[in-house]
Amino acid sequence: MPNVFIKTYGCQMNERDSEQVARDLQNRGHKLVSHERDADVILLNTCSVREMAEQKAIGKMGMLRKLRREKPKLVLGYMGCMAQRLGQDLQKSSPHVDLVIGTQKFHRVADYVEEALKKREEAFIQEDVRDLGASIQPIIDTATEQGSQNSIRDHLPEKKKEATAFISIMQGCNMHCTFCIVPTTRGEERGRPISEIVEEARNLVERGIREVTLLGQIVNLYGRHEFPKIGEKSPFVQLIEALHEVNGLDRIRFTSPHPMGFRKDLVECFGRLPKLMEHVHLPLQSGSDKILKAMHRPYTAASYRKLVADLRSSRPGIAVTTDIIVGFPGETESDYKASRDLAEELEFDGAFIFRYSKRGDTPAALMEEQLSEDEKEDRNQDLLSVVNASASRKLEACIGTRQEILCEGPSRNDPARLAGRTRANKIVIFEGGSRFHGEIFDVSIISASSSTLYGDPVIHDGISLPS
């Protein structure tokens, strides 16, 4: 059967979608390969959040045209958000592409891959593509499909030993922030039934998974249009409670939420559900009320500040990370200072700082007072210094403490050592053998770098290390 290489750009949702496609192809007998030169099919799962991400994917596809000349039967395809946004237009920038598959069609990729392979083989036999590796008529499908959210399940590729997994619980977004293209590329909010998500979690636990991260464009607004509240509990809280009852599932996380989705019922979950990890990624975007309004973010700096206080009260020691955009159209020095001051005040455990990137098909792209790239870069670097300082202080405060971690396997940067994450989602590097993989245990934190903790496994109270 043909070999397939998949390259993923963008967010965790894209990673999860690539897992779905990989699993579907494996179930058909296709083999996944780690090098594009070994592939008969190359798929780029694309991102549209920033122009640079799109340009990288288009540039990559351009470079693959040379490989096509060497391998005329090679199938090349785009999937995901850029494919959804640009559709037919990708034939202009990438005339040699065979597949353009949108965000509601990942469950159909395996069918389309096999169709494209057949078309290219037939064209090769007829000597239509043998010389230059030209394109066949591409398969393009970016249509919406009702119920597509229910296809995003049970796709985890088989691996030797995994302890964590993502579960996509919904598709789409209805918020329409003025800087964001996601509603265009992912469609409206659509949630999967709680029972199906819980069943997927049980299946993952049977394969050795001990921690799941729930994924959604605005994950804590899950189910608000499909499922009713029960008492004062939102569908998202109902889901977390149902997952909390799954035997063998030890840790629950979610990303990325929206501040407006943190009602009292969800905030209180952190104080009463021990399997819900003490970390929240809570996008701020700006500390200026004027800019928040221009972004169509329905909260204020004051309400965001109160939410952080409520979360820290509900679960003392909870880690709070965030996203902040600098250089949004019309952002004055005073507006930027409001973001900087709030970041200093709230002392985030970490943050992604983004320079505003103009995206076509979004209201912000048409706004006046667009800032220069130099201004954006200056603010980006300055705010990074603030956030990095608070993140370092948080890590240093862990030195000398005992932290529970889940060992995820070898460290990415140093495979000779192991890595795990604390309940607050901080990475810990330590020495140890394979017996630690997938285990939950305490480590003593002995040092910290700017982004990582270092520790030793703890033996205490007569309890031995994992064996």
The pLDDT tens digits of the residues spanning 441-466 come to: 999 999 999 899 999 998 644 444 55
Q: Reduced to 3 states, what is the DSSP secondary structure of residue 168?
A: strand
Domain with CATH 3.30.750.210 in the chain: 147-277
Exposure string of 85-120, with b = 16+ CB inside 10 Å and e = fewer, is bbbeebbeebebbbbbbbbbbbbbbbebbbebbebb
DSSP state of 261: G
pLDDT of residue 61: 93
The model's pTM is 0.84
Exposure string of 9-32, with b = 16+ CB inside 10 Å and e = fewer, is bbbebbebbbbbbbbbbbeeebee
Give the model confidence (pLDDT) of 117-164 as tens digits.
988 888 777 665 554 445 578 899 998 877 666 666 654 545 546 899
- Calculate the CA dihedral of residues 216, 222, 227, 229 and round it to 10 degrees: 160
Domain with CATH 3.40.50.12160 in the chain: 3-141
Q: What is the bridge-based pairing of β-strands 427-430 and 170-171?
A: unpaired
Side chain identity at residue 202, one-letter code: R
Q: Tens digit of pLDDT per residue, the chain (467 long)?
A: 899 999 999 888 888 889 889 989 999 999 999 999 999 999 999 998 888 888 999 999 999 988 988 898 899 999 999 999 999 999 888 988 999 999 989 999 999 999 999 888 887 776 655 544 455 788 999 988 776 666 666 545 455 468 999 999 998 899 999 999 888 888 889 899 999 999 999 999 999 999 999 999 899 999 998 899 998 899 999 999 999 999 999 999 999 999 999 999 999 999 999 999 999 999 999 999 999 999 999 999 999 999 999 999 999 999 999 999 999 999 999 999 999 999 999 999 999 999 999 887 899 999 999 999 999 999 999 999 999 999 999 999 999 999 999 999 999 888 889 999 999 999 999 998 888 999 999 999 999 998 999 999 986 444 445 54
Domain 279-394 has CATH 3.30.750.200: yes
Give the model confidence (pLDDT) of 431-443 as tens digits.
988 889 999 999 9
Exposure string of 158-192, with b = 16+ CB inside 10 Å and e = fewer, is eeeebbbbbbbbbbbbebebbbbbbbbbbbebbbb
ω before 256 within 30° of 0 (cis)? Answer: yes
- Calculate the CA dihedral of residues 112, 117, 119, 123 and round it to 10 degrees: 160
* Element spanning 324, H or E: strand 319-326
Domain with CATH 3.30.750.200 in the chain: 279-394
The long-range contacts involving 314-319, CB below 8 angstroms and separated by at least 24 positions, are 314/267, 314/268, 314/270, 314/271, 315/270, 315/271, 315/278, 317/278, 317/424, 318/270, 318/278, 318/279, 318/280, 318/424, 319/278, 319/279, 319/280, 319/349, 319/350, 319/394, 319/424, 319/425, 319/426
Residue 446 tokens, joined: 């002995």
Contacts (Cβ under 8 Å, ≥6 apart) of 210: 163, 164, 248, 249, 250, 251, 406, 438, 440
DSSP state of 40: S
Superfamily for the 402-457 domain: Nucleic acid-binding proteins (2.40.50.140)
Contacts (Cβ under 8 Å, ≥6 apart) of 122: none
- Count, residues in the chain: 467
Side chain identity at residue 456, one-letter code: D
Give the model confidence (pLDDT) of 248-266 as tens digits.
999 999 999 999 999 999 9
Architecture of domain 147-277: 2-Layer Sandwich (3.30)
**What distance in Å separates the CA atoms of residue 28 and residue 41, rounded to the nearest whole number?**
14
C-alpha 38: how far from chain center: 27
- The CATH number of the domain covering residues in 3-141: 3.40.50.12160
